Structure 1
């Protein structure tokens, strides 16, 4: 799907997160060669370097400009995305504090990340592209963090 140039960095972040989500969804199955410890370390690194900063980019920069410019913003969709952000944060926090391995929680995180990214890419970003003027999208782009993998 062709994305507005100013949203491309966020889509690159999403691609990176989908790779991470796939590892989490496979955790504890024959499809995974990574240990639980390695996956938790990767989760912590991803969250610190990309996950939390990405959510902040959306919450503090992108979603507000959408709500400003959209004549009839899809508030339910924004609320759903924000709820998913909160749920993902909660799962990361919970996984960090668990004293024992919990593949079910790691799988849940992977599925929720995947669902969340697809919601934004397929539903929310197209609405944002239609509602927000190019100039404002480009201005917003200047505030996004750089993805640790793609450098965008």
Structure 2
């Protein structure tokens, strides 16, 4: 799927988060190469380096631009995205603070991340690309945090 150049930094974050999500979904199975404590540590590091800034970029920069320029913004999709952001923050907090977490919580976060990223990439981003003039998408890109893995 071709993505508008201005949204590529967010898509880079999504790619890295999908890798984490897949690892978390495999946790505790014969397909997993890591135990859940390793996965939790890596996810917390990813969150600290990229995830929380990524959510701020979407909530503080991208969504306001979309809502300003879309003739009929998809409010249900925006609400779903924001609700999922809150759910993900809650699970990250649980993993970070709980001494006795389980594979179930790791799996839950993996499933939710996977679902959330696909929602944004397949449904929300195409609406944003259609609604927001290029000039304002590029302006939004200027405020996005760099991806710590790719540097983009």
Q: Give TM class, smaller chain.
A: over 0.9
Point out where structure 1 has 5 or more consecutive residues left out of the alignment: none
Mapped contact 1:36–1:101 kept (Cα < 8 A): no
Map of 1:14 onto structure 2: 14
Whether 2:110 is the aligned partner of 1:89: answer no
**Matches of 2:108 and 2:81, distance apart in 1:** 16
After TM superposition, the runs of 4+ consecutive aligned structure 1 residues lying more than 3 A away are: none
- 8 Å contact kept, 1:27–1:103: yes
* 1:101 CA displacement: 3.7
User: Where do residues 41-120 of structure 1 align in structure 2 (5 Å cutoff)?
Assistant: 41-120=41-120
Partner of 1:92, secondary structure, is helix
The alignment's C-alpha RMSD in Å is 0.8
Q: If the length of structure 1 is used for normalisation, what is the TM-score?
A: 0.98
Structure-2 separation of matches of 1:84 and 1:144: 20
TM-score (normalizing by structure 2): 0.98
- Which residue is equivalent to 1:25? 25
How far apart, in 2, do the equivalents of 1:104 and 1:45 lie? 20
- In structure 2, stretches of 5+ residues that fail to align are none
Quote the Cα distance in structure 1 between the aligned partners of 2:36 and 2:7: 33
How far does residue 97 in structure 1 lie from its aligned partner after superposition? Answer: 1.8
